[in-house]
Amino acid sequence: MRIARALRTTLAAATVTAVLLPVSAVHASAATGPYRGLPNGTKQSKTLVIGIDGTRYDKLLAADAPNLKALMSGGMTATSNLYADPMAPTLSGPGWSTIGTGVWPDKHGVKDNTFAGSHFDLYPDFASRLESAAPAAATLVIGSWNPITANVFNGRADVRIAESEDDVRTAADAADYLTNGNPDLTFLHFDEVDEAGHSYGGASSQYLAAIHAVDGLVGQVVQALRTRPTYAAEDWQILVTTDHGHTDAGGHGGNSANERQTFVIADGAGYPAGSTRKDVRLVDIAPTVLKHEGAAIDPAWRLDGRPIDEITPDAFDTLRPTLQSRVDETGIASTIKGFTHTPPSGWSIDNARMPSGGVTEWRGWAFATDEFWTATQLGQSRETNVRARNVFAVADSDEWDDKAHGAGQFDSTLVSPRYPVTGGAVATLSFATDYKVDGPQTGDVYVVFDNSAPQLVKSYRSDLNGFEKLPVTVPAGATTAQFQFRYTGTNSAFWTVDQVAVTS
């Protein structure tokens, strides 16, 4: 996390013998309540979030981890990738802040492990939001890495316990509270998988052993939860996640695929057993927790995430089974299938102004995945496209220009289906976008009502990474609206579009 530290022998061992250890008064907060400072919970819906620092998903699959894999087989598993610089490096401070707040680093402001520039006043952690919405809720935070309680969850949680890098004690305290107390929301953080990565590398046997060890601690905590006397009458949701991955040699902070690996495991009602998804991100954990706990999510919070049960595939996501492997790109593994120029039903691409030639994958608008597109060349801000989900549309003049082509600039238009609208009303076009400028470039959105001439809705000439909601006034008598996304560029950067929707 902060620096490499020695792997604890208790966790590098092949098995873990968990011992319940008492917590001294200096560890617990000053809150009062029925059990060790924790108020008696009031909710039937309860949530346990388990964070396992620095855990690569591919190594989790390879490890002897029966408890984690039981949660996976009993629920949903989603994989996705982190941001990287210039949004933030793949460090624990930004990672856990993203998980805790439900927004990306360009909002919460944490760029490293000093937490300088944080905006937790604007984007508090989900335990604090729950306390604000339901003051009677019992909230518990236990962190092996002390900044979890000192910085990330430093708000209104009833009890915060800093365990000073002692995962065995973290598990013991969590199990004790779940057995003898009544928390509504529990967040706990394990540290030693990350330590193994720093000390021995992500490809080491010690790293696998650390995953096995923390799996035993997860089993201890989950067993305590499921043997609660009131468990049958409770609605438990269990979420497991990580903040970043590791290189094979050890370490993180860069933009390699191994460092950017993340996952979310969700077990509970509504998560189909053994299901997998590609459209769930780390920012979705906070709103998923809050919705399950009955806290209304205010649009004014400007969360980047959404409750998992509200995330639905869009038209671009339907293309994943048809994606192709590389053609001209040499930096992308031949085993990765991640692009196509064939649009989904109702969509089209107008390349009438595109010169011939150029890199095949990016000649005109394409549909791609993060793991494919970012691998074209690391460190050129493609890793900032975090608001897209699964498959997205991308126009990339920079990468297209890397192969000889006919005279002229990149000039391609993505054309939407015709959406029904009501004449005289206001329709709203919404989409996620990452518009990055690095040279001569334009981006324009047009609307066509029925068969009228295109009308400019908005022009882009400077960087924008966020969610757009563009209102358009529908002329009297019009019944359909079609939108065009025209991008031009001369060896510049890119424009991504995803989650396009129209409401009227």
DSSP string of 386-444, one letter each residue: TT--SSEEEEEHHHHTTS-B-SS-EEEEEEEEEEE--TTSEEEEEEEEEEE-SSSEEEE
Tally of CA atoms within 13 A in the half-sphere of 91 that contains its CB: 19
Whole-number pLDDT of residue 504:
87
Please state the domain count of the chain: 2
14, part of any domain:
no
Cα dist from 215 to 12, 65, 275, whole Å: 12, 5, 20
31, part of any domain:
no
Whole-number pLDDT of residue 27:
37
Q: How far apart are CA 68 and CA 27, in angstroms?
A: 28
- Do 26 and 182 contact (CB within 8 A), yes or no? no
Whole-number pLDDT of residue 5:
37
- Do 198 and 177 contact (CB within 8 A), yes or no? no
Helix (H, G, I), strand (E, B) or coil at 486: strand
232, part of any domain:
yes
The pair of three-digit structure tokens given for residue 501, joined into one six-digit string = 């929707």
**345 & 377 share domain:** yes
Whole-number pLDDT of residue 299:
97
**288 & 411 share domain:** no
Residue 351, domain extent:
315-503
Whole-number pLDDT of residue 105:
98
Q: Where are the beta strands (DSSP E) in 351-397?
A: 366-368, 392-396
**300 & 332 share domain:** no
**255 & 355 share domain:** no
Helix (H, G, I), strand (E, B) or coil at 173: helix
* Type of residue numbered 499: Q
**364 & 439 share domain:** yes
- For the stretch 274-307, what's the b/e string if a residue is b when 16 or more beta carbons lie within 10 angstroms of its beta carbon? eeebbbbbbbbbbbbbbbbbebebeeebebbbbb
- Do 102 and 297 contact (CB within 8 A), yes or no? no
**489 & 346 share domain:** yes
Strand order in the sheet with 159-162: 159-162, 139-143, 185-190, 45-52, 235-241, 261-267, 76-81, 275-277
Cα dist from 246 to 55, 77, 200, 261, whole Å: 7, 20, 11, 8
CA angle 359, 371, 283 (to 5 degrees): 135
**For each of the chain's 504 residues, which pLDDT tens digit applies?**
434 333 333 333 333 323 333 333 333 333 345 899 999 999 999 999 999 999 999 999 999 999 999 999 999 999 999 999 999 999 999 999 999 999 999 999 999 999 999 999 999 999 999 999 999 999 999 999 999 999 999 999 999 999 999 999 999 999 999 999 999 999 999 999 999 999 999 999 999 999 999 999 999 999 999 999 999 999 999 999 999 999 999 999 999 999 999 999 999 999 999 999 999 999 999 999 999 999 999 999 999 999 999 999 999 999 999 999 999 999 899 999 999 999 999 999 999 999 999 999 999 999 999 999 999 999 999 999 999 999 999 999 999 999 999 999 999 999 999 999 999 999 999 999 999 999 999 999 999 999 999 999 999 999 999 999 999 999 999 999 999 999 999 999 999 999 999 998
- Do 193 and 207 contact (CB within 8 A), yes or no? yes
Whole-number pLDDT of residue 212:
98
Whole-number pLDDT of residue 12:
32
Which of these three, 243, 275, 309, is where a domain ends?
309
494, part of any domain:
yes
**321 & 305 share domain:** no
Q: How far apart are CA 213 and CA 219, in angstroms?
A: 10
**182 & 260 share domain:** yes
**278 & 369 share domain:** no
Whole-number pLDDT of residue 223:
98
132, part of any domain:
yes
Does this model's pTM top 0.85? My answer is yes
Our CA dihedral for 211, 217, 219, 222, rounded to 10 degrees, sits at -130
Which of these three, 290, 309, 328, is where a domain ends?
309
What CATH number is attached to the domain comprising 111?
Answer: 3.40.720.10
**178 & 217 share domain:** yes
29, part of any domain:
no
Whole-number pLDDT of residue 69:
98
Whole-number pLDDT of residue 201:
98
Q: How far apart are CA 85 and CA 111, in angstroms?
A: 9
What CATH number is attached to the domain comprising 498?
Answer: 2.60.120.260
Which of these three, 257, 291, 309, is where a domain ends?
309
**165 & 280 share domain:** yes
Q: How far apart are CA 290 and CA 77, in angstroms?
A: 19
* Type of residue numbered 257: A
Identify the residue whose tokens are 């009890």: 159
- Helix, strand, coil percent values for the chain (each to nearest 5): 30, 25, 45
26, part of any domain:
no
Whole-number pLDDT of residue 11:
33
**414 & 284 share domain:** no
236, part of any domain:
yes
Whole-number pLDDT of residue 4:
39
Q: How far apart are CA 465 and CA 460, in angstroms?
A: 11
Whole-number pLDDT of residue 211:
98
- Do 487 and 351 contact (CB within 8 A), yes or no? no
